[in-house]
Chain A
Amino acid sequence: MSLITTLARMEAVREGRAQPLTTVRHRHLSPRPLAFVPLTTAGEAGAPLGALVGTDRDAPRLLIVAQPRDRDLRFAFLAELAEEIQPYLDSYADEVDLEERKETDPETGKKVPVQVELCADAPQLLVPSTAGVAFVRLLGRSMRFRRTAEQDPETPFPAPARVPLLGRWLTHYGERSRVPGSCLLLSLTELLSRHWATGQSNLEDQHLGSLLAWIDPPEGAPGAEAALRAESERDGDGLLRCPPAGPSTDPAFDNKLLAPAMSRYDAARTEASQGVAGGAARLRLAETELRGLIASQLRPTWDALWHGVDLLRSLPEGARVADRWKRDRWSYTGHRDRVRAGEPPQPKLDDAVTAAQKLAARETAQAQLDAHEALDDPLVMAGRRLAGEAFAGEVTDVEMAWSDAKVPRPRPLVTIRTEDRPHLAERVKLHRVTADGRAQSGEFAGLADLDGADGADEADGDHGADVVEGPGDTDGLGDTDALSHAHGPGRALVVRLTGGMGRGKEPEPGTVPEKGDLVCWTLFEHAPRGGPELPDVESTPWTHGGPPDAAAPAQGPQPDPMTEEDHL
């Protein structure tokens, strides 16, 4: 946690409510997201207990598994889930934009522009917590290798038709959620804690109810008190008033209500199957009771989720969020194409090459996200300035100069007065965005004296004599002792502009800042690129398994073995 975040948390403690960490919203929120609030059975991997799902906050669909140990009931649940989610996912597949992309022509070997489809928008899944994201991945894993009767008539326990397909989509969404800044699958706790600092620790922020209590405390209650109530207040029966956001349930609920209701259901089911009079009616009654119980645990989380969405929508969207969302649209379109092309489900484990590619892509995405957020948001930039990765200030002097090349290029020297303490060294590359949104590069040229005219003279002299005289000046930079001695808080830094001024000998108008302008330079790149390209598949090094063996039969992933009793 950076110092500026720590400070925000302490302000939240003092104020009794969460404090903003950002001034804009840094994640895309779909106008029509699909909310998914799952519950799982304690101690069981991938045995769902129930879920609320839907795009309409007032009319979620409730799905339950009355007896999670029963495979047929679980399959029925998954089929219903697919019925609800799959049409939503598909509804974005057909509205496409055409984008131009360069592709290598197989005949000529040249790069030629081709038209490719890009979905105009993409479906977005919202879950309450990070545990929910993990559950989506787990569900995806448990479903995508199932076989339907159509795929394999021999399969002993055929899955309903859409289940394997939904498994592949959930896997894709789960995998995409690991890319920093991606927005196909988001958890509310992550979203909210990115935008607000509460007066509690990160660990406690994982509880959606308590996080919301800090951000939007009920009238007259300080955040800490409201959060504590959300976390642990119990009613007369010892049940939590604000049930956990799942997917795991409150053990007290399991033991006191759920287990007895399930036994009643089991008993009624046995009776009904034996044809005892009134058994069917009792079965319906028991199922209705279970539905009510599970809904009572899900509904508060469902409402909290949408409450969080409302809070987030009250923030204006950051300027670069749409750019990043476009990558999510590409990701969605890509998976749509893979499904349409009939490719097999994602493998259980990535091979070394795919893993390396994914890792590299995530690193690039992280660097890009960090840069985007700082540029979109002065509050995030403040954190980078405090960390010495950027500085902002007023231009106090601009002096024209040119490079020594045969065709001289403009290299104006701009003096900026700032109180920031960037980690600068000689000729460190600097970046900024001009007023009209274009990128400009520069390099650090040295320190100037702060005392008005003298300073300008010295900068003059510096440059006039020798451009490379900078080093002497910059030796002590970054060393606070040397910097803070006489001048008080402010310093004057000289930046030599090296780009973004057009092609001519004279810089284009508006590209060089003027005296009195406020500018912000960063030490990090604004559009970071990834590392060097990975080798082709054919030249995979032995460290990564070597080139693929063409002779080896392409082996599709095997479905999981089914045991007679499956779970338990």
Chain B
Amino acid sequence: MDARALAALAANPGCRRRALLDGAGVDKGALAQALGAPANFGQSQFAHQRGNSFEARVKADGGADLVRLLHERLRDGSEPSGPGAVATPDLTASGPQGRTARTALALREATEAGRWALLDHPMVSLDVAGSSAFLEPDAVVVHPDGSWTVIEIKSFPMVDGSADPAKVGAAARQSAVYTLALERVASMIGEPDEDGGGTTDPAGAAETAGKAARGPVRARVRHQVLLVCPKDFSNLPTAELVDVRKQLAVTRRQLDRLTRIEEIAAALPEGTTFDLRLTDDGRIPTRPVGELTAAVDAVDAAYAPECLSTCELAAHCRIRSRAAGRVEALGRGVRGELGGLTTVDAVLTAAMNGPADGAPTGDPAVDALRRAAALRAEALAARPEAVACR
């Protein structure tokens, strides 16, 4: 599960289906394919190449460029880093657990060293609904004062200092997940001193740096991430600090709210499986579609049209949601005015089959619907020439 998936999961915490499948590590794309409702996802190789080449360019020369950009944006009056002042610890290790441990060690050393350090593609883990997810931020910079900043490198442009708000929002949600995971690492590394919680003044930082040799230092994760994008129409990097406190709070709350996967799994019928293996001839899946569909339907989904852009299984959920006539299929906000009416049929029945005298029913949602239906019918009937919309 990557940070993007986690952010999407956090955006729809009520979806047990997604929580279970993600938690169990099921390939939702392949599952959707097997169910006959594949998602329209995919990345163009042009975008991929562009993203990679831009990231490589940004990280060239040992991260000095990145640290310079970060320092410029901070505007805290501190000394800029001199040439060769950025440490780039080696993070290679085998397996995600190994890399996570290596990253934690490198972070600890860099924090104690009290100088700039760039961690290129570190790995951190986060506990999601009872199982571990390993995440790989683009980079993390350790400041001389021992604080850490998440770096997010994106290849969409920042034109005249502003970028597509939807894309910036997605990047912020994704970075918030990294920040959250890093906070766990930070809490394990640095136990706060008894005398003072989270001072950020330079004196405190200097003191901390001074103590580095003697005892555990205070590591903290900054709640502003650095978003690095191409400037205007060039391939020169530019950056802005993005405050992710709100996204962080939302993600933290949503992840806490996630029903624990064991509970969801416990409610499943015995023997439920999402096995997608193919039989020996490599063509026919082991499980017939009907069985898979039943397995997927055994877990509730909370489908809304927003899912279409974030979840591979959304096309399947949409079919089921529409077949059940659920009003959310028309948009999340639709429910608001409809009171206890949850299906399209119920709404239409309530709207059209009122008592002849139009007496109020006592249900404000039903009364408003009847009024709306009557007004709509009146206006449509008054059309000069009923225009055929075909």
Contact surface of A with B, Cβ cutoff 8 Å: 1, 3-4, 6-11, 13-14, 17-20, 23, 41-46, 138, 141-142, 196, 199-204, 215-216, 224, 231-232, 240, 249-252, 254-255, 259, 311, 314-316, 348-349, 378-379, 381-383, 385-386, 419, 421, 480, 484, 488-489, 560-563, 565-568
| CB neighbours of B338 from chain A (8 A) | 6
Chain B interface (Cβ < 8 Å from any Cβ of A) = 38, 40-51, 53, 155-157, 159-161, 230, 232-236, 305-306, 308-309, 315, 322, 325, 327, 329-331, 333-334, 337-338, 344, 347-348, 351, 357-360, 364, 368-369, 371-376, 378-380, 382-384, 387-390
Top 7 closest pairs, chain A to chain B, by CB = A43-B47, A251-B42, A42-B44, A45-B157, A43-B50, A254-B44, A201-B305
Residues on A with beta carbons closer than 8 Å to the beta carbon of B43: 42, 251
Given A3-B368, A349-B160: A9 in contact with B234 (beta carbons within 8 A): no
In this complex, the member of A6, A17, A18, A202 whose beta carbon has the largest number of chain B beta carbons within 10 angstroms is A6
Is the Cβ of B233 less than 8 Å from the Cβ of A560? yes
- Contacts A4-B372, A565-B235 known; A251 to B331 CB distance under 8 Å? no
Q: Is the CB of A42 within 8 A of B372?
A: no
The interface residues of chain A lying within 8 Å CB-to-CB of B234 are 560-563, 566-567
User: Does A201 lie within 8 Å of B347, measured CB to CB?
Assistant: no
25 intermolecular pairs with C-beta atoms under 8 Å apart = A1-B331, A14-B344, A23-B382, A42-B46, A43-B46, A43-B51, A46-B233, A200-B305, A201-B305, A201-B330, A215-B389, A232-B315, A251-B42, A251-B44, A316-B387, A349-B161, A386-B371, A419-B371, A419-B374, A488-B357, A488-B358, A560-B232, A565-B235, A567-B234, A568-B53
Q: How far is the CA of A94 from the CA of B329 in the complex (A)?
A: 51
Distance, CA A489 to CA B367, complexed state (A): 11
Is B348 a contact of A3 with CB atoms below 8 Å? Answer: no
Contact of B348 among A14, A204, A480 (CB under 8 A): A14
**A344, chain B: closest CB distance, angstroms:** 16
Given contacts A382-B378, A566-B235, contact A44 B46 (CB under 8 A): yes
Q: B77 CB to closest chain A CB, in angstroms?
A: 25
Cβ of A250: which chain B residues have Cβ within 8 Å of it? 42
Is B235 within 8 A of A567, CB to CB?
yes
Which residues of the other chain, A, contact B47 by a CB distance below 8 angstroms?
A: 42-43, 251
Q: Which residue of A lies closest to B351 (CB)?
A: A7
Contacts of A45 in B (CB 8 A): 156-157, 159, 230, 232-233
Q: Among the listed B42, B357, B375, B382, which residue makes an inter-chain contact with A252, where contact means beta carbons less than 8 Å apart? A: B42
With A251-B42, A254-B46, A259-B46 known as contacts, the answer to whether A201 contacts B329 (CB < 8 A) is yes
Residues of A within 8 A of B236 (CB): 561, 563
The CA-CA distance from A224 to B331 in the complex, in Å, is: 15
Contact: A568 with B235, CB < 8 Å? yes
A141:B315 contact, CB within 8 angstroms: no
Residues on B with beta carbons closer than 8 Å to the beta carbon of A566: 233-235
The answer to whether B389 touches A23, judged by C-beta atoms less than 8 angstroms apart, is: no
A536 CA to B161 CA, complexed, in Å: 28
Please give the distance in Å from B238's CB to the nearest CB on chain A: 12
Look across to chain A and name the residue whose beta carbon is closest to the beta carbon of B357: A488
On whether the beta carbons of B157 and A249 are closer than 8 Å, the reply is no
Q: Complex: how many Å from CA A202 to CA B371? A: 24
B373 to chain A, nearest CB (A): 6
* Cβ of B388 to closest chain A Cβ, rounded Å: 8
Bound CA span A255–B49, Å: 12
Q: Which residues of B have CB within 8 Å of A3?
A: 337, 368-369, 372
How distant is the Cα of A36 from the Cα of B297 in the complex, in angstroms? 44
Contact A43 B380 (CB under 8 A): no
Distance to closest chain B CB from A46 (angstroms): 5
Task: Tell me whether B387 and A203 are in contact (CB under 8 A).
Answer: no
Interface centre among B49, B322, B330, B373 (most CB of A within 10 A): B330
- How far is B351's CA from A386's CA once the two chains are assembled, in angstroms? 14
Report whether B376 and A43 are in contact in the complex, using a CB–CB cutoff of 8 Å.
no
Question: A379: nearest residue on chain B (CB-CB)?
Answer: B379
Contact A138 B159 (CB under 8 A): yes
Nearest A residue to B164 via CB reads A134
Q: Which residue of A lies closest to B375 (CB)?
A: A382
**Among A7, A13, A142, A480, contact of B373 (Cβ-Cβ < 8 Å):** A7
Distance of A43 Cα from B373 Cα, bound (Å): 46
Known contacts A23-B387, A251-B42, A255-B45; A4 and B375 CB within 8 A of each other: yes
Q: Which of B44, B51, B364, B373 contacts A255 (CB 8 A)?
A: B44
Contact B389–A20 (Cβ < 8 Å): yes
Set of chain A residues within 8 Å of B369, measured between Cβ atoms: 3, 7
> In the complex, which residue of chain B has the Cβ closest to the Cβ of A567?
B235
Residue of B nearest to A137 (CB): B159
| Bound Cα distance from A383 to B329, whole angstroms | 22
In the complex, the answer to whether B389 meets A379 with C-beta atoms within 8 Å is no
The answer to whether A382 and B159 touch across the interface, beta carbons within 8 angstroms, is: no
A382 touches B379 (CB 8 A): yes
**Least CB distance, A8 to chain B, in whole angstroms:** 7
Q: Are A201 and B376 in contact (CB under 8 A)?
A: no
What's the least CB distance linking A201 to chain B, in Å?
4
Per the bound structure, the CA–CA distance linking A484 and B62 in Å amounts to: 75
Cα distance A252–B44 in the bound complex, in angstroms: 7
CA of A224 to CA of B325, assembled, Å: 12
Q: Do the beta carbons of A204 and B308 come within 8 Å of each other?
A: yes
Complex Cα–Cα for A204 and B49 (A): 29
A401 CB, min distance to chain B CBs, angstroms:
32
For A315, what are the chain B residues with a Cβ–Cβ distance below 8 Å? 387
Interface centre among A199, A204, A251 (most CB of B within 10 A): A251
Task: Give bound CA distance, A452 to B17, whole Å.
Answer: 62
B376 touches A232 (CB 8 A): no
Interchain CB contact under 8 A, B331 and A202: yes
User: By the criterion CB–CB under 8 Å, are A311 and B379 in contact?
Assistant: no
Q: Give the docked Cα–Cα distance between A6 and B348 (Å).
A: 11
Is the Cβ of A6 less than 8 Å from the Cβ of B375? no
Partner of A203, one of B306, B334, B371, B382: B306
Across the interface, name the chain B residue whose C-beta is closest to A6: B334
Question: Do B376 and A7 have beta carbons less than 8 Å apart?
Answer: yes
Least Cβ–Cβ distance between B374 and chain A, in angstroms: 8
Rounded to whole angstroms, the CA-CA distance of A224 and B319 in the bound complex is 10
Query: Which one of A4, A43, A383 has the highest number of Cβ atoms from chain B below 10 Å of its Cβ?
Result: A43
The reply to whether A1 and B334 contact each other, CB–CB distance below 8 Å, is yes
Contacts of A138 in B (CB 8 A): 159
Determine if A20 and B159 form an interchain contact, defined as CB atoms under 8 angstroms apart. no
A311 to B371, CA, bound (A): 29
Given contacts A1-B331, A10-B348, A201-B330, contact A23 B44 (CB under 8 A): no
Residues of B within 8 A of A567 (CB): 233-235
Taking a contact as CB atoms under 8 Å apart, the answer to whether A201 and B331 are in contact is yes
**Shortest beta-carbon distance from A327 to chain B in Å:** 27
Which residue, A201, A311, A378, A480, has most C-beta atoms of chain B within 10 A?
A201
Q: Is the CB of B389 within 8 A of A381?
A: no
Not counting A255-B45, A419-B358, a sample of 12 additional A-B residue pairs whose C-beta atoms are within 8 angstroms of each other reads A10-B330, A10-B348, A42-B44, A45-B159, A200-B330, A201-B330, A203-B308, A252-B42, A259-B45, A419-B374, A560-B234, A567-B234
Q: With A13-B344, A204-B305 as given contacts, are A7 and B379 in contact (CB-CB < 8 Å)? A: no
Residues of chain A lying within 8 A (CB to CB) of residue B235: 563, 565-568
Taking a contact as CB atoms under 8 Å apart, the answer to whether A232 and B38 are in contact is: yes
Known: A43-B46, A560-B233, A567-B235. A6 touches B337 (CB 8 A): yes
Write the chain A residue with the least CB distance to B385.
A316
Nearest-Cβ distance from residue B233 to partner chain A, whole angstroms = 5
Contact residues in B for A231 (Cβ distance below 8 Å) = 40
Q: Which residue of B lies closest to A216 (CB)?
A: B390
- Contact of B348 with A11 in the complex, beta carbons under 8 Å: yes
Q: Is the CB of B155 within 8 A of A43?
A: yes
